[in-house]
Amino acid sequence: MQQINISSGTRLVGLLGYPAKHSLSPFIQNIFLRDNNIDAVYLTFEFPEDKLMSAFNGARDLGIYGLNITMPYKERVHGLADKTDQLSDITGSVNTVRFDLNKESIVASGFNTDIDGFKVSLKEAGCSLKNKDCLVIGAGGAARSAVFAFLSMKAKKVYIYNRTPEKGEKIKKLFYGEERKKIEILKSFGIIKKKKIDFDLLCNCTPLGMNTQNMMDSIPVPESLELKNKIVFETIYDPVETKFVKKAKNEGARVIDGLDMLINQAASSFNIWFDIIADTKNIKEMVLKHLKNEKKSYIEKIYSNRKGKNK
């Protein structure tokens, strides 16, 4: 994809997760590095949970410049960082770490850029949430960031629907005063019809629709829920066109997909490490092309193996 001149001065940034090898972050971050002439490479590190502490401290001791953190380690790394910013404290999760030299020691600062991922993607799509009613489906880490992002964009109301409503209540308790009053927990989709609740935006923060564990055929809303003229925000990016995204497009909704969010949260992490605003204009097209080629070479591999066997 790109030429890297590695020297003893080359810095290392990377991703910690389990699994992590499937991630598109190396593709995106290595483009940012190349385009900004930064002498650094971005790699992935995949290891089981009992190795997290030693991997995190090892990264610090080895002089790794910065890290992204993905599932399932975002919450634990919030506890491992020496300092955390306000957004990561609100969400209780860290997806970006910057290591800084302070006198003799290296300090790990934790950040959450998922909130930026939501906000920048909405702004880029020209969507204002002022006085809008939003529905967040799910109540995990991404949902917490979504609720925070939507309230900070002046949404009138944020409904949370999760199969475990208590987790939605927990999110509500993270907020105070007027913001808390704007959050309402929905215990079932039936209530939407019964109470005639309407939404301007619907955001999927569950893995329903993801290319894993037979979830690809799932959809986070009832098929009967009309999406015409809504804003539909999908956080899943594998596949980019989830069943929810397809339904939204077919019915004439405005769609923001998981790739938009991934690219924008990646740009925000890059800015934290290098103090540079990366140009994201052509990245989506490049990622989609990369995914298409990966699929092609996978198919070619299967057939060439089969040809080999038939010889």
Where do contacts with ligand NAP occur on this chain (CB under 6 A)?
71, 114, 117, 138-143, 162-164, 167, 205-208, 210, 235-237, 258, 261-262, 265
Q: Which is nearer to ligand NAP, 84 or 91 (CB)?
A: 91
| Residues near 118 by beta carbon (within 8 Å), at least 6 away in sequence | 145, 146, 149, 150, 203, 233, 261
Active-site choice (74, 119, 157, 230): 74
Backbone angles phi, psi at 87, to 5 degrees: -65, -40
Nearer to ligand NAP, 84 or 162 (CB): 162
Q: For residue 32, list its beta bridge partners.
A: none
- Identify the helix (H) or strand (E) that includes residue 197: none
- Strand-by-strand arrangement of the 40-46 sheet: 40-46, 11-17, 66-69, 96-102, 105-111, 83-84
CB of 49 to ligand NAP, least distance (A): 14
* Residue number with CB closer to ligand NAP (30 or 206): 206
Q: How far is the CB of 22 from ligand NAP (least distance, A)?
A: 11
CB of 8 to ligand NAP, least distance (A): 33
Whether 74 sits among the annotated catalytic residues: the reply is: yes
Q: Which is nearer to ligand NAP, 149 or 155 (CB)?
A: 149
Residue 223, C-beta contacts closer than 8 angstroms, at least 6 positions apart: 247
- Rounded Cα distance between 260 and 127, Å, is 14
CB 230 within 8 A of CB 254: yes
Question: Nearest to ligand NAP by Cβ — which residue?
Answer: 140
Counting DSSP H helices and E strands in the chain, the numbers are 12, 12
Least gap, CB of 105 to ligand NAP (angstroms) = 31
Nearer to ligand NAP by C-beta: 162 or 280?
A: 162
The radius of gyration of the chain from alpha carbons, rounded to an integer in Å, stands at 21
Residue placing its CB nearer to ligand NAP in the complex, 84 or 206: 206
Count of CB atoms situated within 10 Å of the CB of 294:
12
Q: In whole angstroms, how close is the CB of 299 to ligand NAP at the nearest point?
A: 25
What token pair was written down for 110? Answer: 């934790």
State the sign of the Cα–Cα–Cα–Cα dihedral 168, 80, 86, 24.
negative
We find the least distance from the C-beta atom of residue 237 to ligand NAP, in angstroms, to be 5
Catalytic residue positions, numbered: 74
